[in-house]
Every structure is written in structure tokens, then in C-alpha cells.
Amino acid sequence: MLKVFICGGSGYTGGELLRILSNHPEVIVAGVTSERSAGKSVSDLFPHLHKYSALRYEPLRSEEIIEKADLFFMALPHGESQAAVDFFYRNGKMVIDLSADYRLRDVKTYEKWYKAPHKFPATLKKAVFGLPEIYRNKIRRARLIANPGCYPTGAILGLLPALRNRMISISSIVVDSKSGTSGAGRKSDAALSYCEVNEGFKAYAVGTHRHTPEIEQELSLLSGKEISVNFTPHLLPVDRGILTAIYSPLIKRITANEAVKTYRNTYKKEPFVRVLEYGMYPNIKNVRGTNFCEIGLKVNERTNTLIVITAIDNLVKGASGQAVHNMNIMMGFEEKTALASLALFP
């Protein structure tokens, strides 16, 4: 049995890791940390996780806990994750970091967008971007995974086949994303309160969201050219789910069939990506609670544009599910272990 520790387990991604791992036959949750909730039981914070009523939060004392587990999930806020990740990694542990701290390869880009220094550039170099659909082979051998952001997961999976197959011009890509409110985390913030979010819908951080460089990094690597995108996130009045609409000019005319075939071909061995029939578009409700990414395609001949719509659950494929998928790959477990369940609908 693999012993894992969850550092930062009082937020929604921490809770979701616990929920998913409760179905994992090869894993024992050895501990879970939270500074604010130290001493409380998991089920005090998450009544739905009553299986974990005996598990209590403890403060993150790295030196003490390092011996208790083989693999550390880090679900800390970015910035706070840096040193802890470095510590566990340097001391020989496997680490899957759900924060943004080890996702950007270029320290300067990190420092520009996150307004904070990166103190562990050597460790940063060892991190593998944990998107299995691109980096599966590296993940297999990795000891440190930078688990992708929720928005980047939906955006990159939507563009990967088009970029690999040089279908689109990279000059004016639009990525228009809409996320459920759990993406903002579990916190006391009047702006996230029910009456402010419900029956509302708005864009935020237009052109300035921190997931922008992460999307651009991976798209640039895929295309071999520097790519800038217009990325606009919106706040949806739902608990979970990200729907992303991506617009990019086609380089040459292609048929609907060719587009679907290319996408299906790219993802044919992927257990968690589903390319829908042409004319069908995904709904976040159909992936809720699952690790699937669903993709719908439109070749707009009137404007010569490829339109890709992707749907994921931001807490699963966009965070904790992808983290467990990465763990499964690293450990050689069957990839779908603990991730096979279908969406809860309605």
C-alpha cells in the first residue's frame, strides 16, 4: 500500500483528494495538514467525508511528517508551496504539487505574474508538468509533478491536436472560459457569498489572469513558436465545471470530418478525453465529479475558424483527479483506478 500525505487538506481540492482516494485500493491516507484547522477531524470540516472521522488535521511540520508517507500531495496556496515541495522532493519523496509554484519553467515569468520570487529554481527544473496527455512518459519517471491549473487543462487539451497537426494560425487565439465557483476555493469572502454569485455572471481578471502564462507556455511548446492568447475567465453560478470556448483561424480549409478525425486520433488512447460527434457540444453537467475532458468541435466555414469547446470538472480533471491520475502513472497503477465513476446527473 502506498502511503500518501495531503498538505493543505482543508480546501476544496484537499477534500476532493480525500473523496477520490477513499475509493483507491492501493492507497492509505497517512495524514492531512491544515494550520487553521489543526486538531479538528476531517469530518468536522467536511461532513460528507465521514469515513475520515478519525483523521485529524495537523500543522505542516515537514521534518516530522516526512517519514510518514511515500508521496506528498501539496494542496497549499501558491507561494506557500514552494519551500515545502522543495523539502519533500530533496529528501527523496514523490511530490505532486497542486499549486502554481512549479508549473512555469521560466522563473522570470513566474515572478512577473505571481509578484514573488521563486527560491528553488533547481528543484523547479526537475518538475514535470502533469498533463498526462502530453507528458505521460515523463510523468512515469518523475518524482515531482506540477499539477496543471484548472483553466490551462481545458484550454491546452482543446488546442493540442490543432497545434500538433498545424491546423490553426497562432496569431489571434481566443480562450473564453467559464468556471464554477469552487474554483475560487473555500474561503470567507463576501464576494463569493451565495447572494453575490447566484443569478449572476461576470468576467474577471480579463487578460490578466495568472493562468495565462501557463496556457501560453504549453501552447508555445506544442507549436514551437511563441504564442500569446486572449484569455478571459468568468464566474459561473454553479459549484463545479469549466467550459472553455476556443477560437482560432484555420490555416487551410478542412472539413468537419477531418477535424473530428484528427482530434479523435490524437486522443484515441487517452482514458479521460472524449471527442464528441460533430455537432454535439459538451455540458459541464455531464462531467461533474469525473476526470473526463469532453470536447466538441465546430469548423465555421463562414469565418474560416476552428471553434473548440471543452468541458472538465475543475476540481477533478482540473485538480485532484488529475493529481491522482498522475500518481497512478508514477506508481504504475492502472490509470483509471479510483477515477472510473460516471458523472452524478442530474
Choosing from 3, 136, 210, 285, the residue that interacts with a second copy (CB under 8 A) is: 285
Specify the 3-state DSSP secondary structure of 56.
Answer: strand
296 binding a second copy? (CB under 8 A): yes
Choosing from 70, 80, 239, 270, the residue that interacts with a second copy (CB under 8 A) is: 239
38 binding a second copy? (CB under 8 A): no
CA 92 to CA 87: how far, in whole Å?
9
Choosing from 26, 70, 80, 196, the residue that interacts with a second copy (CB under 8 A) is: 196
Least distance from C-beta 79 to a second copy, angstroms?
21
DSSP state of 297: E
Site for a second copy in 82-141 (CB under 8 A): none
Contact present, 148 and 214 (Cβ < 8 Å): yes
Query: Applying CB under 8 A, which part among 14-22, 64-72, 85-93, 325-333 lies near a second copy?
Result: 14-22
41 binding a second copy? (CB under 8 A): no
Q: Which is nearer to a second copy, 7 or 170 (CB)?
A: 170
Choosing from 91, 137, 230, 257, the residue that interacts with a second copy (CB under 8 A) is: 230
Least distance from C-beta 77 to a second copy, angstroms?
15
By residue count, the chain amounts to 346
Quick one: which of 233, 251, 222 has its CA closest to 174?
233
CA 317 to CA 241: how far, in whole Å?
10
Contacts of 61 (CB under 8 A, 6+ apart): none
Helices 12-21 and 321-331 cross at an angle (nearest 10°) of 50
Q: Which is nearer to a second copy, 36 or 61 (CB)?
A: 36
Choosing from 7, 127, 236, 259, the residue that interacts with a second copy (CB under 8 A) is: 236
Whole-angstrom CA distances from 46 to 23, 49, 178, 221 are 17, 5, 26, 40
Burial string for 173-185 (b: 16+ CB within 10 Å, else e) reads: bebbbbbbbbbbe
Q: Which is nearer to a second copy, 162 or 236 (CB)?
A: 236
Phi–psi pair at 233, nearest 5 degrees:
-90, 150
204 binding a second copy? (CB under 8 A): yes
- The DSSP bridge partners found for residue 203 are 234
Q: Which is nearer to a second copy, 87 or 113 (CB)?
A: 113
Phi–psi pair at 247, nearest 5 degrees:
-120, 125
Choosing from 59, 117, 121, 200, the residue that interacts with a second copy (CB under 8 A) is: 200
19 binding a second copy? (CB under 8 A): yes
Choosing from 9, 14, 15, 149, the residue that interacts with a second copy (CB under 8 A) is: 15
Tell me which residue has cell 457540444.
Answer: 281
CA 76 to CA 73: how far, in whole Å?
9
Least distance from C-beta 62 to a second copy, angstroms?
27
Annotate each residue in 142-181 with x if it binds a second copy (CB under 8 A) or - if it does not, as one string. ------------------------------x-x-x-x--x
Q: Which is nearer to a second copy, 91 or 172 (CB)?
A: 172
346 binding a second copy? (CB under 8 A): yes
Task: Provide the CA 260 distance to its chain's centre, in angstroms.
Answer: 24
Annotate each residue in 241-280 with x if it binds a second copy (CB under 8 A) or - if it does not, as one string. x-x-x-x-x------------------------x------
77 binding a second copy? (CB under 8 A): no
Q: Which helix (H) or strand (E) holds 287?
A: none
Least distance from C-beta 304 to a second copy, angstroms?
9
Contact present, 84 and 93 (Cβ < 8 Å): no
Phi–psi pair at 305, nearest 5 degrees:
-125, 140
Query: Applying CB under 8 A, which part among 103-111, 121-129, 150-158, 190-198 lies near a second copy?
Result: 190-198
Does residue 150 have an active-site annotation?
yes
List active site positions.
Answer: 150
